[in-house]
Amino acid sequence: MSRPGLLIVLSGPSGTGKGTICKCLLEKNPELELSVSKTTRPPRKGEEDGVNYCFVAVEEFKEAIANQDFLEYACVYDHYYGTPRQAVEKKLAAGKNVILEIDPQGAQKVMRAYPDGVFIFLLPPSGAELRKRITCRGTESEESLTKRLAAASQEVMQASKYNYVVVNDEIASASERILSIIQAEQLRVKRNQDLIWQLAEEVKE
Ligand code: 5GP
């Protein structure tokens, strides 16, 4: 039986570049799997259904909540977002490392359900840079922009609940640091007990 994969949670305020970092991580390590969330948010220009998100109606989302189909879900900036449980559990059982790019409310639920997960918080290089990134992205309405800026400061405070913080000063190097975290986590003794026992037996034979 293969070892279960790592459940990796990546959070950070809107505009820290989580999406770009995830893309870069998958390019650098094609064995990583990204969990595709369901959301009731309308698609942005260029977003593809089933790739960036599965875009669903509120009724469908609520039905999925009732059926306990989500590993976690949260309401973020007036829209629902949730992680499909079955898809993630199947990948983990197959030994795949799965990344969840989710908000801190959802991450806290995962922390309780999966204490063995790896929780990484992505920080912007500075407050001014974050404001610039959110404002210049040009994908948000005025109202959504105000909400995201107000939430960002609160969200940064959530970083202390995570296992690691990574400053996204430059995409390639921040991604490399995350890959190093994943590599180190895979080498932790608690994840390699089977290997230790097996070797101890082999030495005895
Ligand atoms: P956006 O609308 O910018 O794509 O995402 C808004 C926020 O929702 C981001 O902080 C993103 O990480 C979070 N998010 C995306 N998918 C999920 C999910 O499945 N669950 C939770 N809790 N948050 C999510």
Q: What is the DSSP letter of 158?
A: G
- In this predicted structure, the answer to whether residue 106 has a pLDDT above a threshold of 80 is yes
Which residue has the least CA distance to atom 15 on ligand 1?
A: 102
Which two three-digit tokens encode residue 176? 């490399």
Using CB distances shorter than 6 Å, the residues near ligand 1 are: 14, 18, 37, 41, 72-74, 76, 81-83, 101-103, 105-106
Maximum CA extent, the chain: 70
Pocket probe mutation, ligand 1, options 102, 120, 155, max atoms within 8 Å of Cβ? 102
Looking at residue 82, its pLDDT comes to 98
Average pLDDT score over residue span 193-197: 93
Q: Which atom of ligand 1 is nearest the CA belonging to 52?
A: 4
Residues whose CB falls within 8 Å of the CB of residue 22, separated by 6 or more in sequence, listed in order: 10, 34, 99, 101
C-alpha of residue 202 to centroid of ligand 1, in Å: 47
User: pLDDT at position 19, please?
Assistant: 92
Name which residue sits closest to atom 22 of ligand 1, judged by CA.
Answer: 106
The pLDDT, as a whole number, for residue 144 is 82
Closest residue by Cα to residue 109 from 191, 11, 2:
11
Residue 1 has pLDDT above 70, yes or no: no
Q: Give the residue whose CA is nearest to atom 6 of ligand 1.
A: 76
Report percent pLDDT > 70 for the chain: 100
Residue 2 has pLDDT above 90, yes or no: no
Residue pair 162/120 in contact by the 8 Å Cβ criterion: yes
**Mean pLDDT of all residues in 159-164:** 97
For the chain, what is the mean pLDDT? 93
Structure confidence by residue, pLDDT tens digits, 18-52: 999 999 999 999 899 999 999 999 999 999 999 99
Alpha carbon distance 91, 41 (integer Å):
25
Residue for token digits 């369901």?
A: 38
H helices, E strands: number in the chain = 8, 9
The residue nearest atom 19 of ligand 1, judged by CA position, is 82
